[in-house]
């Protein structure tokens, strides 16, 4: 019971400290320390028995291990996104899609533009900043309530494209390390689910927009609205080539290189973007230098990764492992709900830290998979 209190208290403290402006690199280890104290973990290896879990060793091993496994993927993904942004390639693709679909289906145009960019490997930050000016102009022209612009951006960027088979986004590649699968695992099911998510999500979004219009809502212009759409853009067809390069190379090399294939794919996308659109760059080295902020993506992960060592140590009825795997029925459902619970808290912390919640979804998955590996006797799992 104390360990669960410590877990909730630690994540709550993480949210509070980031709300107060503390850097996550400081807030995360402090919150993990609270979790360790309530779980009865020895702080230093000298205070622990031989082979026993301790806070300092396991926390730093998680810190170093995650960076070793995933840092280059995040780095090249961030560079690829910034190159697509600075060259105008992301703007060109989204503008072309929006122009083709047109004003009558403004919300759908924004959703599809975001979906194409994210499924091509462009990070969420770049997609949001690239599509937003055009979405603003389109919603204004169609006289749709502007409060639905974030909904359209989020729906196209963070739902069906992020978890679909073959997606180069990181959460589709994290399971490879734990489950020995590929990014195309169960692609038939993934395809059906993606179609359902897209169809139902767009139906719901359109329903809410129509309801708002019937209630008299319309687009409300603001003084801060400016024409932010870039005029000098590369060809949309050339701009799509780097997206195709990422998808093709990840598909060709995923069997032999597993998750390392994503590094090669994203790096190839960076080169393709540079050589195809180099005359359109405004500040290429400045864009690459901005990717140093990738460090902040990792800081929210460590408190979640620390749960792995807690599960290895705790065995009692109040432990996290017992709650997930031994108490009652439907362990897979409890695991899914708990991973989403972790993601909810972590997304809140990342949001207050000035980031998006996307990485927190990845970390909740990363923290949950070790528990999933303990479900070895699948015949006894009751669905």
pLDDT at 128 over 70: yes
pLDDT, residue 183, reads 87
Q: How confident is the model at residue 371 (pLDDT cuts 50, 70, 90)?
A: very low
pLDDT, residue 121, reads 84
pLDDT, residue 192, reads 93
CB crowding 182-211: b at 16 or more within 10 Å, else e: bbbeeeeebeeebeebbeebbeebeeebee
Q: Over the stretch 159-178, which tens digit does the pLDDT of each residue have?
A: 888 778 888 877 788 777 77
| Contact (CB, 8 A) for 213 and 144 | yes
Q: List the chain domain ranges.
A: 2-66+297-380, 88-280
CA separation for the pair 343, 8 (Å, rounded): 13
| Contact (CB, 8 A) for 1 and 318 | yes
CA separation for the pair 48, 104 (Å, rounded): 66
Q: How confident is the model at residue 317 (pLDDT cuts 50, 70, 90)?
A: very low
- Stretch 211-225: mean pLDDT: 86
Phi and psi dihedrals of 53, rounded to 5? -70, 140
DSSP string, 215-260: TT------TT------SS---HHHHHHHHHHHHHHHHHHHHHHGGG
CA separation for the pair 129, 117 (Å, rounded): 12
pLDDT, mean over the chain: 76
Euclidean distance between the first and final Cα of the chain, in Å? Answer: 27
CA separation for the pair 10, 33 (Å, rounded): 8
pLDDT, residue 354, reads 43
pLDDT at 155 over 80: yes
- Hey, what's the torsion of the CAs at 292, 293, 299, 300, to 10 degrees? -150
Query: Could you tell me which residues come within 8 angstroms of residue 310 by beta carbon, excluding any fewer than 6 positions away?
Result: 3, 35, 39, 41, 53, 319, 320
Kindly list the distances between the CA atom of residue 367 and the CA atoms of 52, 202, 302, in Å, as whole numbers in the listed order. Answer: 20, 31, 9
- Weakest mean pLDDT among 51-60, 187-196, 252-261, 274-283: 51-60
CA separation for the pair 333, 318 (Å, rounded): 19
Q: Over the stretch 327-369, which tens digit does the pLDDT of each residue have?
A: 555 556 666 666 666 555 555 544 444 444 444 444 444 444 4
- Stretch 1-12: mean pLDDT: 75
């Amino acid at each position: 019971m104390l360990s669960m209190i410590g877990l909730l208290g630690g994540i709550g403290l993480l949210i509070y400290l980031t709300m107060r402006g503390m850097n996550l690199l400081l807030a995360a280890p402090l919150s993990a320390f609270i979790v360790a104290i309530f779980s009865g973990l020895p702080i230093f290896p000298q205070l622990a028995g031989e082979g026993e879990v301790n806070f300092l060793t396991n926390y730093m091993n998680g810190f170093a291990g995650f960076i070793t496994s995933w840092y280059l993927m995040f780095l090249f993904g961030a560079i690829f996104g910034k190159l697509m942004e600075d060259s105008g390639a992301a703007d060109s693709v989204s503008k072309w899609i929006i122009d083709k679909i047109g004003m009558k289906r403004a919300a759908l145009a924004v959703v599809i533009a975001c979906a194409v960019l994210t499924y091509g490997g462009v990070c969420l930050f770049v997609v949001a900043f690239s599509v937003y000016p055009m979405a603003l102009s389109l919603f204004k022209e169609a006289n749709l309530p502007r409060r639905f612009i974030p909904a359209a951006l989020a729906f196209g960027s963070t739902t069906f494209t992020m978890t679909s088979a073959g997606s180069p986004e990181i959460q589709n590649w994290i399971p490879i390390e734990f489950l020995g699968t590929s990014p195309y695992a169960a692609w038939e099911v993934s395809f059906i689910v993606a179609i359902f998510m897209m169809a139902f999500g767009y139906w719901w979004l359109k329903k809410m927009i129509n309801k708002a219009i019937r209630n008299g809502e319309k687009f409300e212009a603001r003084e801060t609205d400016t024409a932010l759409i870039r005029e000098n853009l590369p060809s949309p067809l050339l701009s799509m080539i780097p997206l195709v390069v990422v998808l093709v190379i990840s598909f060709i090399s995923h069997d032999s290189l597993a998750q390392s294939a994503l590094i090669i794919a994203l790096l190839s996308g960076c080169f393709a973007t540079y050589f195809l659109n180099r005359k359109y760059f405004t500040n290429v080295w400045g864009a690459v230098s901005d990717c140093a902020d990738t460090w902040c993506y990792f800081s929210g992960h460590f408190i979640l990764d620390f749960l792995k060592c807690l599960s290895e140590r705790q065995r009692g009825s109040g432990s996290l492992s017992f709650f997930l795997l031994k108490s009652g029925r439907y362990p897979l459902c409890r695991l899914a709900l708990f991973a989403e619970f972790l993601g909810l808290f972590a997304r809140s912390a990342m949001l207050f830290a000035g980031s998006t919640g996307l990485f927190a979804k990845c970390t909740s998955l990363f923290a949950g998979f070790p528990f999933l590996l303990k479900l070895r006797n699948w015949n006894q799992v009751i669905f």
